[in-house]
Amino acid sequence: MTPRGILETVLYAEDLDAAEAFYGGVLGLQRVSRNGDRHVFFRCGDQMLLIFDPRASAAPLPEGSLPVPRHGADGPGHACFRASAEEIADWRAHLETQGVTIESDFEWPQGGRSIYFRDPAGNSLEFAEPRMWGLQ
């Protein structure tokens, strides 16, 4: 058996208000739900991007909650968003107008362009062409 794909990706941010403003406002992702200062969830295509406060998500859920294990990580993470070459150029221009610093912009030796930048929590984000992995 092989998984069919990734359904959700999790990043961590202690300031969920800043994360919500960045992912909803700057990146334009649709917010699905927010649970106080614990987490905020976004739709990204046919996948989900979950942003957890690392302190709150490391604590046990209250009695009677869903039986979800604790989550938590320390330090910045990484997520890469799929984009065409044309979309990457547009994203770069958009991010720069939003005051987001592009840390790196290059062509991979095997083909495909990537741009790297950071969210307010310091997570490393990337837009890349799927062909860098031999995908369409």
- Where residue 2 sits, what CATH number does that domain have? 3.10.180.10
Q: For residue 90, what pLDDT is reported? A: 97
Verify that 91 and 127 share a domain, yes or no. Answer: yes
11 in any annotated domain: yes
- Whether 80 and 51 share a structural domain: no
Identify whether 70 is part of a domain: no
Last residue of a domain, one of 9, 31, 58: 58
Asked whether residue 22 is domain-assigned, the answer is yes
**Strand locations in 16-134 (E):** 30-35, 39-44, 47-52, 78-82, 104-107, 113-118, 124-128
Confidence class for position 127, pLDDT limits 50, 70, 90? very high
Assessment of whether the complete model's pTM goes beyond 0.85: yes
Q: CB count, 10 Å around CB of 117?
A: 21
Number of domains in the chain: 2
| pLDDT at site 72 | 79
What pLDDT digit, counting tens, does each position of 59-115 carry?
887 888 888 888 878 889 999 999 999 999 999 999 999 999 999 999 999 999 999
The average confidence (pLDDT) of the chain is: 94
Residues 34 and 87 in one domain: no
pLDDT over 90 (residue 49): yes
Domain span at residue 27 reads: 1-58
- The pLDDT, as a whole number, for residue 65 is 82
Could you give the residue ranges of the DSSP H alpha helices within 36-84?
54-58
In the prediction, which pLDDT does 43 show?
A: 98
Once rounded to an integer, what is the mean pLDDT over residues 19-34? 98
